[in-house]
Structure 1
Amino acid sequence: MKKDIGNSLALYPTPLVVVGAMTEGKPNWLLVGHLGIMGHDHVMVSLASAHFTNKGIKENKKLSIAIVDEALLPKADYVGCVSGSKEDKSKVFSYHISEAGVPIMDEAPVVMACSVEDIYETAGFESFICTIDHVYADEEVVNEKGKLDYRILKPVLFEMPTYEYLRTGEIIGNCMTIRNKE
């Protein structure tokens, strides 16, 4: 027997990221736990409409998405607790500006530079539909096939109903090889 727990989001945990955007002429960083994959080259980042970062994203149609690992977590948590409209968060992380004008966090093991294709609005939220333009990764998190190695990367996961950060777990098998053989 299953218990009805209402209409809560049951798709968590998700990778924790920091979104970067040029806002009022300087980088602003925001901790984000609402994001998703849309095909092989698109992502969606959903932000509360009131966030200061949204202004820069809408003006420039660009953003970066940095994957948070445990080393980055204290600073990432901090940028999720203060508003860029009240505090200058541009110096929290070391960064450089890409050729496309996107702030790229140097401290993050993986950063995606994205172009905003569309904005989908729901009550209190703006969801930015983005094309992934570039992925920048530290060499130590890339395997011999040129793919990200999540056993080394170990992204922090965010669990919404409890607001907890989780460690990624062990590999339990390879996709499309675990079959019910009964």
Structure 2
Amino acid sequence: MRKTITMAVLLLALAACNQNSKTTDNNNINMNQKEKAKEVAGRRNFGAQHPVMTPQPCIMIATYDENQVPDVMMAAWGGQCDYDKITFDLGAHKTTDNIRLKKAFTVSFATEENMAESDYFGLVSGNKIPDKVKRAGFIATPSPNVDAPIINEYKLTLECRVIEMEENGEGGARVVGEVVNWSADESILNAEGKVDLAKLKPIIFDSSALVYRTVGDSIGQAWHSGKKFQ
């Protein structure tokens, strides 16, 4: 009986070692594949580390916690994924927990006017400083459409409900939200009633220099400037 148990233990140990060896081999293969990326001739090559995607928006995600305390964080990994849908990736944040709880959020855009306050929202965690919205001197108003706050100082805001949340196993998640309404302050509209980015002055995140930059001037007309090549 003892011999049988000993043999079983040895077989299990060998199986575990083989599995670990396979895992290590697979990891080494993946690492080697990345290391063997072919260089593009005539250019400086950086491999796969910290790729520069530009422009990256400075989106301000506002949520409520279980006590209806407002929170705001800045995120850059996000964008529009359908006509009325937006998506972004988050790590393990207070915002991520709030979105899980409320299944709702609002998205606004950092601007030249409130760059410092917006940067502050990205610097501090709502888990450690729950009143950071108040500390920044901003005012939160409940959205009439979703269970999330509208930050009055941000002049363009999208009210969203969560339609998909894919967990990453590390406390973060990829979030897809449906825009149920969006509103803009009259001060950023043009004579035709459309949002004028020149008036809004949104900023973008430069991931190469780690600075914020303003959106530049208009240089051409969409779906028109390229017609000269037709």
Amino acid in the other structure paired with 1:165: Y
Report what 1:17 is aligned to.
59
Say which of 127, 140, 148 aligns to 2:187. 140
Report what 2:151 is aligned to.
105
Normalised by the size of structure 1, how large is the TM-score?
0.91
Measure the CA separation in 2 of the matches of 1:168 and 1:4.
Answer: 28
1:178 Cα deviation (Å)? 1.8
What do the CA deviations read for 1:51-96 (whole angstroms, capped 9, x no partner)?
1111111111100111111111111111111111111224132120
Report what 2:221 is aligned to.
174
The within-5 A match list for 1:57-96 is 57-88=99-130, 89-91=132-134, 92=136, 93-96=138-141
Larger Rg: 2
Amino acid in the other structure paired with 1:181: F
Structure 1 residue 56 corresponds to structure 2 residue 98: yes
Measure the CA separation in 1 of the matches of 2:182 and 2:190.
Answer: 15
Bigger fraction of residues in helix? 2
Structure 1 residue 5 corresponds to structure 2 residue 43: no
Measure the CA separation in 1 of the matches of 2:78 and 2:63.
Answer: 16
Which has the higher relative contact order, 1 or 2, with Cα contacts under 8 A spaced 6 or more apart?
Answer: 1
Report what 1:115 is aligned to.
161
1:123 Cα deviation (Å)? 6.6
Please provide the CA RMSD for this pair. 1.8
What do the CA deviations read for 1:119-145 (whole angstroms, capped 9, x no partner)?
123475411101111112111212233
1:47 Cα deviation (Å)? 1.0
Cα pair 2:87 2:176 within 8 Å, conserved: yes
Structure 1 residue 129 corresponds to structure 2 residue 176: yes
Report what 2:70 is aligned to.
27
Normalised by the size of structure 2, how large is the TM-score?
0.73
SS of aligned partner of 1:57? helix
Cα pair 1:28 1:84 within 8 Å, conserved: yes
1:30 Cα deviation (Å)? 0.6
1:147 Cα deviation (Å)? 2.1
Bigger fraction of residues in strand? 1
Q: Give the gaps of 5 or more residues in structure 1.
A: none
Q: Give the gaps of 5 or more residues in structure 2.
A: 1-41
